[in-house]
Amino acid sequence: MLARVALRVVILNRKVALRMLNSITDVREILATQQYIASDEICTAMFLADKLGKPLLAEGPAGVGKTELAKSWALANGRELIRLQCYEGLDETKALYEWEYAKQLLYTQLLREKLSDLLGDSRTLREAADRLANEEDVFFSERFLLPRPLLRAITSDQPVVLLIDEIDRADAEFEAFLLEVLSDFQVSVPELGTLKAKHQPTVLLTSNNTRELSEALKRRCLYIHIDYPDLEAELRVIQLKVPGLSPKLARQAIEYVQRLRKMDLKKHPSVSETIDWARALLELNSRQIDKSTLDTTLNVLLKYESDIQRAKRALQGGERGDRPERPERGDRPDRPRNRYPGGEWNN
Amino acid sequence: MDRRITEFIAALRAAGIRVSLAETADAMRAIEQAGITDRRLFELVMQTSLIKDAKDFTTFRELFPLYFGKEAPPPLQQPGGGQLSEQEHEQLMEHLAQMLAQMSPEQLAQLFRSMMTGQPLSAQEMGQLMDGIAPPHVSNPRYRDWMTRQALRELNFNQLNKALRELLDALRDEGMSEEALQAIEQAARENQAALAEQIGQQVAQQMAEQARGDGQAIPRQRSESELLDRPFDQLNERDADDMRKIVNRLAARLRTRLALRQRRGKTGTLDAKTTIRTNQRFGGVPMVVRHRKRHLKPKLVVLCDRSVSTERVMTFMLLMVYSLHDQLSRTRSFAFIDRLHDMSRYFNEARPETAIAQVMDEIRPTRSYSTDLGYALSEFVRDHLSCVDQRTTVILLGDGRNNENDPGLAAFAQICRRARRVVWFATEEQRKWGVYDPGSLSSDIYKYAPMCDAMLEVTNLRQLADAIDRLFVRA
């Protein structure tokens, strides 16, 4: 049974992969198959990235689904996802390739006899060295190259999706190093020459905007800014990901989250945290969002004690966020204050 | 269309958005792929390929409708909405011809004909029409409606109402049915509105073109070195923008230098443990030798005199220090006037530029303020001394003019004992140090000087950059 299901999934994926992307709606549809709800901006950007073969740089606050986009895209197109997580101090040997010394060493050990055969009848040292030099290629071939994510994405036989996650964490030098890869989809290995991509990978870069990226990098990419979704969009996401939650409670929860995002907090709740919270509410069989529910579950949503305190106060005091609004006066319509009432003089 | 797009890109550039030639080419290719039939899609395509910074989106959205707003002029109606009989139509045309012959000036007659017959004005005719009136004298898109109204007034657009009434009266006298008259009037009114709209578009375009002209006129780049050497107190608002750009560039340059220094700094003593561990795979033969990393990233504590005289230099210093934050392990910053204010929380939450604006806005001198460094230092020792340790460099930015208050030397000495280094950034030229000044009286700077590891004069950007660079050099 399970096997059959798995098979069907594979076939489904193949079908999806074979379909040509002709319009933005196609993009939306194939992302929807992976339960990813994409806005117009995202669809357009993915469509263009696919059509123009350019990398796409997605910026935005943490947890709005930038990484998820890459995953869904890979799954929806039936491609392998190769992920490069950036961090401070990341360098070429970890991102691109490394020589596999151990294997080289092992091979020289095992091939010692063969080597002595080869070199045995040479008379001078120079001749032996020359002969050895002729065979040098064996030891510096792709056989001994340990591919890291970037090289893997470039040399792969199948088209892949390359995700370069949180590029803003890597050093500026690494960013410069990426430029060659991103503009020409090729890398230079001094001992081997230039390796060109067999299939151009779809490249997605994400950034949490902790530092400004260089102009050169931005110029080579298409750009999209993913922000927190609005109420309706987030509601759709929750209904899709946590189907068991009652619509009323879901709406209440999202309204609360949206209100939190307007407040002055150290860290705003992300979409993924909203999903976690919705799951928690479902598990706890909550009926409505009241003080006791918040007491037990708010730590899923907020990660700082001061934020939690503030959020609780906001809910209980009926205080609307941190912005006290002017009391509305129903007795007369709003009229301009402190202004000359007879229209503007300057026109 | 291509021309329109290039014009749009030129306008984006004039508005201060960096759009390179490569990006223009990308946009063209993208449009080829996506087509231009769907306006919303077209906008998104342009946005994705041209705009690379979230803060430029607003500019883009303001400019876009100006260039691709309602590209085609609104369609005009047939006379009477096509409901007139042959005879009625002829009557109308006859009267119209009579009226047009008498009408002056000629532009108005043109407009009236177009309004009644439903034949749109050609681009050439429209151009002539607009040439006849004064071009808009404001280029800010906000005033578009106002400038349109002015153009319509100049064209005597309201005369068209009168002409229409006369025409209808004449037709009524001829005995045309009320229904036909109504149909004629309605179509004519709609056409009138459409023409007004078209004129509005023309005006908007003229304004955009002017704006572009203005935009090109402004960039009058002063040389970088000139600005670098200009004293902070002689900078005006207009320079501030250029300066900010230079600061960013300087910070980028410093960063590369620091990174290099850090890399070379790796060759310390042999780290036996890590070397053995990494060489396990070679059977213990030490192929790769690992060295102990030096902790070069300094911790900073910054104390800034936030008074009017040091406002500028403080802005630039904070901007530079915080744009180098990835080269520092931790930065705490405080501002003092007569008391100490913690600024770090602003920087934790926002980007440096926004944070600085907030700081300037929220921590401001009161009306009768007087700088009291001594008290601020004692407060620092009381509340925040724990953030100074033997890896911390303390920077004090100020002029050391203390308004005859207690200089707080004991507290300062305590900080100096704990910190790795204390560096004073003096905001006055060296010749003014310690000199009596009628405004703020005596200067205590030489009382602090013996305790500091260095006293640096920071009166222009070049000195500031040098001073910050020296922070990272291992003493």
The 10s digit of each residue's pLDDT in B9-64 is 888 887 778 888 989 999 999 988 888 788 888 888 999 999 988 878 888 887 88
The H helix count followed by the E strand count for chain A is: 17, 9
Question: By three-state DSSP, how is residue A224 classified?
Answer: strand
pLDDT for the residue numbered B474 = 59
B399: closest CA among B366, B440, B438? Answer: B440
pLDDT for the residue numbered A74 = 93
Q: Where are the alpha helices (DSSP H) in B76-177?
A: 86-102, 106-117, 123-131, 144-154, 159-174
Largest CA distance in chain A: 111
Please tell me the distance in Å from A132's CA to the nearest CA on chain B: 22
B398: closest CA among B335, B453, B343? Answer: B335
Residue B123's CB is within 10 A of a number of other CB atoms, namely 10
pLDDT for the residue numbered A45 = 92
Kind plus residue range of the DSSP H or E element containing A106: helix A101-110
The larger pLDDT score, comparing residue B378 to residue B220, is at B378
pLDDT for the residue numbered A8 = 45
A24: closest CA among B28, B54, B48, B5? Answer: B48
A101/B53 Cβ within 8 A: no
A24 touches chain B (CB under 8 A): yes
A40/B48 Cβ within 8 A: no
Average pLDDT of span B89-108:
81
Chain A residues with CB under 8 Å of B287 CB are 101
Structure-block tokens of residue B315: 């802005």
pLDDT for the residue numbered B123 = 73
What's domain A2-95+148-225's architecture?
3-Layer(aba) Sandwich (3.40)
- Please name every residue paired with B424 in a beta bridge, in sequence order, or none if there are none: B396, B455
Structure-block tokens of residue A313: 């106060």
Kind plus residue range of the DSSP H or E element containing A46: helix A40-52
What is the distance between the alpha carbons of residues B54 and B49, in angstroms, rounded to a whole number? 13
Instruction: Please work out, in degrees rounded to the nearest 5, the angle formed at the alpha carbon of residue B7 by the alpha carbons of B6 and B10.
Output: 85
Q: Is the bond preceding B105 in cis, omega lying within 30 degrees of 0?
A: yes
pLDDT for the residue numbered A222 = 92
Question: Are A204 and A58 spatial neighbours (Cβ–Cβ below 8 Å)?
Answer: yes
B146 touches chain A (CB under 8 A): yes
A344 touches chain B (CB under 8 A): no
Range with top average pLDDT, A48-57, A256-265, A336-345, B157-166: A48-57
Nearest CA in chain A to B52: A223
Kind plus residue range of the DSSP H or E element containing B333: strand B330-336
The answer on pLDDT for A57 being more than 90 is yes
Residue spans of the domains in chain A: they are: 2-95+148-225, 97-144, 231-315
The answer on pLDDT for B162 being more than 60 is yes
What's the distance, Cα to Cα, between the start and end of chain A in Å? Answer: 77
Structure-block tokens of residue B79: 């006379």
Residue of B20, B44, B255 with shortest CB distance to A41: B44
B30/A51 Cβ within 8 A: yes
The answer on pLDDT for B381 being more than 80 is yes
Query: Distances from the Cα of B467 to the Cαs of A62, A231, A299, B306, in angstroms?
Result: 35, 49, 45, 19
Question: By three-state DSSP, how is residue A161 classified?
Answer: strand
Question: Are A37 and A65 spatial neighbours (Cβ–Cβ below 8 Å)?
Answer: no
Give the pLDDT band (50/70/90) at residue B224: low
pLDDT for the residue numbered B69 = 66
pLDDT for the residue numbered A163 = 94
Name, in order, each residue with C-beta under 8 angstroms of B96's C-beta and a sequence gap of 6 or more.
B113, B116, B117, B167
A44/B44 Cβ within 8 A: yes
A90: closest CA among A182, A185, A176, A190? Answer: A176
Alpha-carbon dihedral angle through residues B130, B134, B140, B145, given to the nearest 10 degrees: -60
What is the distance between the alpha carbons of residues B341 and B361, in angstroms, rounded to a whole number? 13
Give the pLDDT band (50/70/90) at residue A55: very high
Angle between helix axes A66-76 and A40-52 (nearest 10 degrees) is: 60
The answer on pLDDT for B217 being more than 60 is no
pLDDT for the residue numbered B404 = 75
Question: Are B407 and B373 spatial neighbours (Cβ–Cβ below 8 Å)?
Answer: yes
The larger pLDDT score, comparing residue B73 to residue B259, is at B259
The 10s digit of each residue's pLDDT in A135-177 is 777 777 878 888 889 989 988 888 999 999 999 888 877 888 8
The answer on pLDDT for B359 being more than 80 is yes
Mean pLDDT, rounded, of chain B? 80
The answer on pLDDT for B354 being more than 70 is yes
pLDDT for the residue numbered B367 = 57
Give, as one character, the DSSP assignment of residue B81: G
Nearest CA in chain A to B352: A211
Q: What is the DSSP pairing of strand B299-305 with strand B330-336?
A: parallel
Query: Distances from the Cα of A276 to the Cαs of A212, A227, A230, B177, in angstroms?
Result: 30, 19, 18, 72
Based on the number of CB atoms within 10 Å of its own CB, is A130 exposed (0-12), middle (13-18) or buried (19 or more)?
A: exposed
Q: Sign (positive/negative) of CA torsion B102, B107, B111, B114?
A: positive
- Please name every residue paired with B342 in a beta bridge, in sequence order, or none if there are none: B334
What is the distance between the alpha carbons of residues B394 and B331, in angstroms, rounded to a whole number? 10
A322 touches chain B (CB under 8 A): no
Mean pLDDT, rounded, of chain A? 80
- ipTM value, please give it: 0.73
pLDDT for the residue numbered B337 = 83
Which of the residue ranges B78-87, B124-133, B449-458, B461-470 would you say has the lowest mean pLDDT?
B78-87
Question: Are B304 and A124 spatial neighbours (Cβ–Cβ below 8 Å)?
Answer: no
Q: What is the DSSP pairing of strand A80-85 with strand A160-165?
A: parallel
Please tell me the distance in Å from B45's CA to the nearest CA on chain A: 6
Sheet holding B454-457, edge to edge: B340-342, B330-336, B299-305, B392-398, B421-426, B454-457
Region class of A280: left (phi > 0), else alpha (psi between -120 and 50), else beta: alpha
What is the distance between the alpha carbons of residues A236 and A319, in angstroms, rounded to a whole number? 27
What is the distance between the alpha carbons of residues A235 and A243, in angstroms, rounded to a whole number? 11
pLDDT for the residue numbered B312 = 80
The 10s digit of each residue's pLDDT in B237-246 is 667 777 777 7
The H helix count followed by the E strand count for chain B is: 20, 6
Give the pLDDT band (50/70/90) at residue A329: very low
Instruction: Please work out, in degrees rounded to the nearest 5, the angle formed at the alpha carbon of residue B344 by the alpha carbons of A63 and B310.
Output: 135
Nearest CA in chain A to B143: A347
pLDDT for the residue numbered B296 = 61
Average pLDDT of span B283-302:
76
A41/B26 Cβ within 8 A: no
Structure-block tokens of residue B187: 């179509």
B1 touches chain A (CB under 8 A): no
Residue of A59, A101, A172 with shortest CB distance to B282: A101
Give the pLDDT band (50/70/90) at residue B266: low
Nearest CA in chain B to A346: B146
Structure-block tokens of residue A258: 């949206």
Distance of CA A243 to the CA centre of its chain: 25
Residue of A52, A59, A101 with shortest CB distance to B54: A59
Structure-block tokens of residue A193: 């020459």
Kind plus residue range of the DSSP H or E element containing B331: strand B330-336
Residue A263's CB is within 10 A of a number of other CB atoms, namely 16
pLDDT for the residue numbered B152 = 84
Give, as one character, the DSSP assignment of residue A326: P
Q: Where are the alpha helices (DSSP H) in B15-85?
A: 21-34, 39-50, 57-68
Average pLDDT of span A88-102:
81
A219/B22 Cβ within 8 A: yes
B47/A41 Cβ within 8 A: yes
Which of the residue ranges A324-328, B203-207, B378-382, B462-466 would you say has the lowest mean pLDDT?
A324-328
Alpha-carbon dihedral angle through residues B134, B140, B141, B143, given to the nearest 10 degrees: -70
Chain B residues with CB under 8 Å of A40 CB are 40-41, 44
Question: By three-state DSSP, how is residue B197 classified?
Answer: helix
Give the pLDDT band (50/70/90) at residue A92: confident
Question: By three-state DSSP, how is residue B399 classified?
Answer: coil
Residue labelled with tokens 């609780």: A312
Question: Are A71 and A81 spatial neighbours (Cβ–Cβ below 8 Å)?
Answer: yes
Give the pLDDT band (50/70/90) at residue A335: very low
Residue of B18, B45, B51 with shortest CB distance to A44: B45
The answer on pLDDT for A214 being more than 70 is yes
Structure-block tokens of residue A200: 């151009």
Chain B residues with CB under 8 Å of A221 CB are 52
Structure-block tokens of residue A182: 């991103």
What is the distance between the alpha carbons of residues A283 and A293, in angstroms, rounded to a whole number? 12
Chain B residues with CB under 8 Å of A101 CB are 281-282, 287
Range with top average pLDDT, A271-280, B167-176, B304-313: A271-280
pLDDT for the residue numbered A204 = 94
Which of the residue ranges A288-297, B12-21, B226-235, B459-468 would you say has the lowest mean pLDDT?
B226-235
Question: By three-state DSSP, how is residue A96 classified?
Answer: coil
Percent of chain B past pLDDT 70, that is, above it, reads 87
pLDDT for the residue numbered A23 = 78
A88 touches chain B (CB under 8 A): yes
B4 touches chain A (CB under 8 A): no
Please tell me the distance in Å from B48's CA to the nearest CA on chain A: 5
Average pLDDT of span B81-105:
79
Chain B residues with CB under 8 Å of A41 CB are 44, 47-48
The answer on pLDDT for B174 being more than 90 is no
pLDDT for the residue numbered A12 = 45
B40 touches chain A (CB under 8 A): yes
Residue labelled with tokens 């780290």: B271
B189: closest CA among B164, B210, B224, B169? Answer: B164
Question: Are B265 and B358 spatial neighbours (Cβ–Cβ below 8 Å)?
Answer: no
pLDDT for the residue numbered A274 = 92
